[in-house]
C-alpha cells in the first residue's frame, strides 16, 4: 500500500501550510477503461487565527451555541422572552 508524503511550513501570512503528495485514481470516460494513477499535491491552509482541532474550544463553543438555540426555541414556543422582567 502506498502512503502519502507531506511537508508542513508557516507561510508569509503566518498560516500553517500542509502540502501532501498523494495519488489520484482517474478513470477515463467509456466502458471497460482501466483507471490510471496520477500524482497530485494537495495543500491544506490553516489560518493563524484558528485554534487547533484538539483544543476543546470547538466543543465548548458548539455546546454554547446549541444551548442558545434551544433557549430561543423554547421562548418561541412559549411566547416568553427570558430577558423580560416578570411581575
3-class state of residue 31 by DSSP: coil
Q: Give the model's pLDDT for residue 53.
A: 57
Q: Give the model's pLDDT for residue 65.
A: 85
Q: Give the model's pLDDT for residue 32.
A: 86
- The half-sphere exposure of 82 on its side-chain side, counting CA atoms within 13 A, is 9
> From first to last of its 87 residues, what are the pLDDT tens digits of the chain?
456 778 888 888 888 899 999 999 999 898 888 999 999 999 988 888 865 555 556 677 778 888 888 888 888 888 776 555 555
Q: Give the model's pLDDT for residue 68.
A: 87
Give residue limits of the domains in the chain. Answer: 1-49, 51-80
Q: Give the model's pLDDT for residue 76.
A: 84
Amino acid at each position: 500500500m502506498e502512503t502519502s508524503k507531506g511537508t508542513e511550513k508557516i507561510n508569509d501570512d503566518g498560516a500553517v501550510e500542509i502540502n501532501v503528495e498523494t495519488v489520484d485514481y482517474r478513470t477515463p470516460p467509456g466502458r471497460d477503461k482501466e483507471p490510471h494513477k496520477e500524482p497530485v499535491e494537495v495543500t491544506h491552509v490553516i489560518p493563524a487565527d484558528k485554534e487547533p482541532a484538539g483544543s476543546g474550544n470547538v466543543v465548548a463553543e458548539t455546546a454554547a451555541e446549541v444551548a442558545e438555540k434551544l433557549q430561543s426555541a423554547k421562548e418561541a414556543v412559549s411566547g416568553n422572552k427570558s430577558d423580560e422582567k416578570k411581575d
